[in-house]
Structure 1
Amino acid sequence: MKVKFSVLPLLALAMMVLPITQQAQAKEEASAPTITLDKPSLDNGGEITVSGQAPAGSQVYVEVYSVEKQVRANRFDSKKDPKTGKVPYMFYLTHEMPAAYKIFIPKEMAPELDKAKADGSSWKYSEVLKKTGANAAYNAPAKIKIDRYQATIMASILGSRGNLLDAMNEKDSKRESMKLVKGRFRKVDNLLAATVETTADGAYTAKMKLRKGLAPGKYNVTVTAVTERIQEGDKETVKKVKSEVASFENNVSFPTVYLSTAGTSINLLWPFLLTLVIAIFGVLMGAGGGFILNPILVSIFPALPHTIVAGTVMPTVLFAQGSGIYNYSKIKFINWKLGIGIGCAMLLGGFIGPKLTELITLDQFKFAFGWILLVLSGLMYWQTTPGYLEKNKKEQAILKEFKKRAEECAKRGEEGTKSCPTEQK
């Protein structure tokens, strides 16, 4: 009986403590941030406000990303490793990058973003995430699948990316995903914005401005509240709570269309008018206009990846080339022997070029293309100088003869009397 009486007080105490513990756990679960969006949809970008209640004294971050639209992102690592002194020649590739991604951070972190902008193209996304604390909210891209290849120039020439290596561990994959995100979206403003305002009691608001030209469809929004950061040497432990997922739609309508391979939306009217002008002058110079259209599209529409521009220009130039070939052959301005000869070289170059395009950055692309255009413009200018024209009187006579024949052919075509004279061998 004594044993029974001694146990009863302990049971009573346990029954008193258990509800208190359950209440504490319920309170901890309830401390997750609430989230509310002020509108359900946007029309080709715009502003949407997210608000709610987070734990008092916490730092609030808002992550927003496209759910339905994913794009390809790749990076070629050709920089010397400072530890080993060797160039890795590693090619990283994913097809699961969100077509749109951005983190909104506390307003007081704006100076860190200004420093990153001042660094130009050399800014490092991972460092900015760490300095602003936004690494606590970096979630969606960290989960993407990334393939890596041991690349070689010979493999690229043969049409291969190299040898596919084993999958990276979670830590290395997350680190590489940050580099791919930076390479895909490039600018600080495309990835980060300091617009989150938080009061002392934890109430927060964030105005999310999404630029025009983003992918249409469903977007997810998640709020992360950092309640505590514990620094132990180089290791940082972050205590955080996350909200439920909220969603909204981004709608686009014609003439704005979504380009799935580029991961962006664009108004087709402006590229149409631009290409019309370029094609006219391109055909005059015996080309489809691709060498003019390529750099102009990259410059005027920076949201378009240079690899997509290069690939898209190739088939579209066929329209101008096809009509140009027809009309030039009609007036006998084509030498097919020469054309087939240099066409074989173009066939080989067209096989190698696309693979090499994967291995260069946008800055390298602009540098190479810029020098090519400078050399071509220099040669064309030199060929218009009086000294050159004096030395090439025979060439001028041939050009005048061709011009005369072209006018005669055009006149006969209008009259419908005789065909053009055959080409002299």
Structure 2
Amino acid sequence: MKEKLKLLRMLFVLMVCLLLSSVAFAQDQAAPSLQIDKTLLKNGGVIKVTGKVPAGQQVYLEVWAADKGVRASMFDSKKDPKTGVVPYVFYQTYDMPAYYKIFVPVDKADKIAELKKAGKKWSYSEAIKELGAEAAYNVPAKMKTDRYKATLMASVIGSRGKLLEPMDDKENKKRSMQLVKARFREIDKVLGAEVTVSPDGAFSADIKIREGLAPGKYNIVAVTDNKVKSAPAVFENSISFPMLYLKTAGTSQNILWPFLICLVISIFGVLMGAGGGFILNPILVSLFPLPHTVVAGTVTPTVLFSQGSGIYNYSKIKFINWKLGIAIGCSMLLGAFIGPKLTELITLDQFKFAFGWILLVLAGLMYWQTTAGYLAKNKKEQAILKEFKKRAEEAAKAKQ
């Protein structure tokens, strides 16, 4: 009888232990609560986020534009350290959120500052791992990403190359992190230390949505370090004229500034026999948050407007040599077909480097041609300048 009682006591203690452990496990797996103080922003602002997680757990916030996706691409031309082979693979997705950022606890701010010291060589995957935020990285990992085996000949004929087999989930996640860096470029745009967590599990964060981001719905999800997620909190970012959403760039822009800049550039561009694109291109890349591929593509058709009016006015004063113009135009037609594909294969830094050197060489050449020594030796150029002045005066008199 005593043995039976002893056995019953042991079973009772075991059941109590199992019950307590299951309760503790359920508490650990409880979904975080999440609230926001507002559901509407006007061209950016601050969203106050509050909530609670089980005591002792870390919490991360994943924030993204829910209904605005943009194109992101990356060309892998780095030699594989294991095989020594350069892959030459082009990765592309059209599902990248126009805005994406993970917010980590404030005590990890020093780690973010340390990561910034790597400069342009920082790695998004290493940053996520270093901050312990792997559980919060979810949305871009599910993007559909295509990859192409790129070749120079494929670019020449207007192709990205041979479409390769789809990647598995692990590889897709790895490449998505590289695409996030390629798209947003700066650590501050994808990572921030804003979450304050109390010992009892209560947390808060001020999520700043900067001006010029995409309009539409945004989602905020709280994720604990054991991968338990909250239900998404939704808010909307609205914009109004003169702000316009640029779909291909994934940003909003006050259209008045580009308008005024282009007005000035077109005047000087046509004076030099150009549409002004070579001036407008670096200015847009430097002053506005636009991808270099979008800038290059946007500037090309805008040049038609200044070139069209310039052609009309130059033809009236008979300054156009049509035979030479058509011959040059044919070669430019071929180059313009190849250029857009090559633009996809270079980074913003490579684009700026090449464009900068081209402008420096052209500037040096034009300056040299204005020196007294050059003009004295070049009698033909002096004659052309005199003829130019004569025709301009005749055209001015004809208008009077």
Please tell me the TM-score bracket, short chain as reference.
Answer: over 0.9
Is the alpha carbon distance of 1:26 and 1:132 closer, same or farther for their aligned partners in structure 2, counting shifts above 3 Å? Answer: closer
Displacement after TM superposition at 1:29 (Å): 7.9
In 2, the alpha carbon distance for the partners of 1:26 and 1:189 equals 35
Supply the RMSD in Å over aligned alpha carbons.
Answer: 1.9
| 2:29–2:228 contact (8 Å) kept in structure 1 | no
Displacement after TM superposition at 1:411 (Å): 1.7
Displacement after TM superposition at 1:42 (Å): 1.1
- The residue that corresponds to 2:254 in the other structure is 267
Alignment of 1:232-381 (within 5 A): 239-301=226-288, 303-381=289-367
Displacement after TM superposition at 1:384 (Å): 1.0
Displacement after TM superposition at 1:240 (Å): 2.9
In 2, the alpha carbon distance for the partners of 1:23 and 1:151 equals 54
Residue 227 of structure 2 aligns to a residue in which SS?
A: strand
Percent of aligned pairs sharing the same letter? 66
Query: Mean alpha-carbon deviation: is it higher for 331-340 or for 117-126?
Result: 117-126
- For structure 2, the 5+ residue unaligned runs are 1-7
Displacement after TM superposition at 1:212 (Å): 1.1
In 1, the alpha carbon distance for the partners of 2:110 and 2:99 equals 24
Alignment of 1:53-72 (within 5 A): 53-72=52-71
Note the alpha carbon deviations across 1:138-170, whole angstroms, 9 max, x for none: 000000000001110111111111110110010
Residue 159 of structure 1 aligns to a residue in which SS?
A: coil
Alignment length, in residue pairs? 388
The amino acid that maps onto 1:349 is G
Note the alpha carbon deviations across 1:275-299, whole angstroms, 9 max, x for none: 1111111001000000000001000
Residue 92 of structure 2 aligns to a residue in which SS?
A: strand
Is the alpha carbon distance of 1:29 and 1:142 closer, same or farther for their aligned partners in structure 2, counting shifts above 3 Å? Answer: same
Displacement after TM superposition at 1:394 (Å): 2.7
Whether 1:391 and 2:382 are equivalent positions in the alignment is no
- The residue that corresponds to 2:4 in the other structure is none
| 2:136–2:227 contact (8 Å) kept in structure 1 | no
Query: Mean alpha-carbon deviation: is it higher for 239-248 or for 286-295?
Result: 239-248
Residue 242 of structure 1 aligns to a residue in which SS?
A: coil
Whether 1:403 and 2:382 are equivalent positions in the alignment is no
Displacement after TM superposition at 1:361 (Å): 0.3
Note the alpha carbon deviations across 1:213-247, whole angstroms, 9 max, x for none: 11100001000011xxxxxxxxxxxx231111110
Displacement after TM superposition at 1:23 (Å): 7.8
Moved over 2 A (4+): 19-31
Displacement after TM superposition at 1:174 (Å): 0.2
The amino acid that maps onto 1:260 is K
Alignment of 1:4-403 (within 5 A): 24=23, 27-28=26-27, 31-226=30-225, 239-301=226-288, 303-403=289-389
- The residue that corresponds to 1:229 in the other structure is none
Displacement after TM superposition at 1:386 (Å): 1.2
**TM-score scaled to structure 1, two decimals?**
0.88
Displacement after TM superposition at 1:28 (Å): 3.6
Displacement after TM superposition at 1:117 (Å): 1.6
**TM-score scaled to structure 2, two decimals?**
0.94
In 2, the alpha carbon distance for the partners of 1:409 and 1:34 equals 76
In 2, the alpha carbon distance for the partners of 1:270 and 1:402 equals 34
Residue 70 of structure 2 aligns to a residue in which SS?
A: strand
In 2, the alpha carbon distance for the partners of 1:29 and 1:127 equals 27
Residue 355 of structure 1 aligns to a residue in which SS?
A: helix
Note the alpha carbon deviations across 1:39-71, whole angstroms, 9 max, x for none: 111111111111111110111100000011000
Displacement after TM superposition at 1:398 (Å): 2.2
